[in-house]
Amino acid sequence: MLRFAQIEFLWGLVLIPLFIILYLVVRRWKRKALKSLGDRETVGKIIPEVSFSRPGIKFVFFLIAFAALVIGLSDPQIGTKMEEAKKSGSDLIVLLDVSNSMLAGDLAPNRLENAKRAISQMIDNLHNDRIGIVIFAGEAYVQLPITTDHSAAKLFLDNINTNIVPTQGTAIGAAIDMGLKTFDLVSGTSKAMILMTDGENHEDDAVQAAERARKKGVTIHVVGLGSTEGAPVPIYKNGSPVGFHLDEAGKTVVSKLNEDMGKEIAAAGNGVYVRASNANSGLPLVMSQVDKMQKNTYESKAFKNYEDRFQFFLALCFVLLIIEFFISSRKNLKLSEVNLFEVRKP
């Protein structure tokens, strides 16, 4: 299979027709100039060293050399070499809270967007670690299965919002159980979950779920999003805030970070708890713990690797230019006098 690593350089081939047109124009002008001196035989006697064919030969060599240079710069590659790739890393699943309380503005611009920005930066710093994303509110859903495609992870992350889950609430335990199902528990890779939530769990026993995960060899780290003072939860309509959520008494609902819940889940999951802020997402500390985990080989596969072939075209260009340089535009009168096939009369 052939491909070009720098395919944009192939646009240089467009210059070849322009060179041909320019050469023909100059050649026609020269012939008119010589014709003004007389016919071809007369010009040959007046200027015997003039060659009518050698400039054309030199031009052909130049064109081929230029085409070889352009192709060489485009770096042609052939996929003929087989290599084996082995990667070592950990499996990570981000459990991201998408309940309405994550729209509170005590983290700029809000808790959810602050978390998404931090996750995106974390993905940029991943190496061979695989990553998956589970979102949850009243129920938990797999947004992205475990993958090594970090670009896809960022694409899926961008599409996350509070409307993506139909049932509101905060079911942290369900999210942890969903994360366990997403993991390949048979492979020997180190596994961890990163729970990012404001800790307002109303649906299930998240601590027991964290204990179940720990028993299966999965560590759970918790990043608390929000402030203990709390902030009102805005209501959006057509992308614009139109008010705040109210309780049954008609008072504005204030969502507060439940740090005690986050610390309990982290302790039960044998992980660390860190509180996010506008200046520090908390994920660097979590990732430092993940980096301490044992890295095991999780993938081994054969694939085609492309080999560069630009050297041949650049070498051809160099040789042709040397030949073109040594081809004189004028006749060699001494050589033209030599006639190897002349028949001498006795």
For the stretch 108-119, pLDDT in tens is: 999 999 999 999
d(C-alpha 280, C-alpha 295), whole Å: 26
Which residues are paired to 102 by β-bridges?
none
In the prediction, which pLDDT does 43 show? 58
pLDDT in tens, 207-219: 999 999 999 999 9
pLDDT in tens, 45-77: 555 555 667 788 888 988 999 999 999 899 888
Please state, rounded to an integer, the average pLDDT across all residues of the chain.
Answer: 84
More confident residue, 170 or 341: 170
In the prediction, which pLDDT does 82 show? 55
In the prediction, which pLDDT does 333 show? 45
Q: What is the bridge-based pairing of β-strands 254-255 and 76-97? A: unpaired
Q: What is the bridge-based pairing of β-strands 190-197 and 218-224? A: parallel
Helix, strand, coil percentages in the chain from 3-state DSSP, rounded to 5:
45, 25, 30
3 state DSSP class of 74: coil
In the prediction, which pLDDT does 178 show? 95
Q: Which of 86-90, 160-164, 247-251, 286-290 has the lowest mean pLDDT?
A: 86-90
Evaluate if residue 270 carries a pLDDT over 90: yes
Taking residues 23-47, report their average pLDDT. Answer: 71
Q: What band does 180 get if pLDDT is binned at 50, 70 and 90? A: very high
Give the tokens for residue 331: 């006749």
The phi-psi region of residue 97 (left if phi > 0; otherwise alpha if psi is between -120 and 50; otherwise beta) is beta
- Indicate the pTM of the whole model: 0.64
d(C-alpha 72, C-alpha 69), whole Å: 5
Q: What band does 44 get if pLDDT is binned at 50, 70 and 90? A: low
In the prediction, which pLDDT does 335 show? 42
Q: Above pLDDT 70, what percent of the chain?
A: 82
Taking residues 270-279, report their average pLDDT. Answer: 93
Taking residues 14-37, report their average pLDDT. Answer: 83
pLDDT in tens, 294-342: 777 666 555 566 778 888 989 999 998 898 888 776 655 444 454 444 4
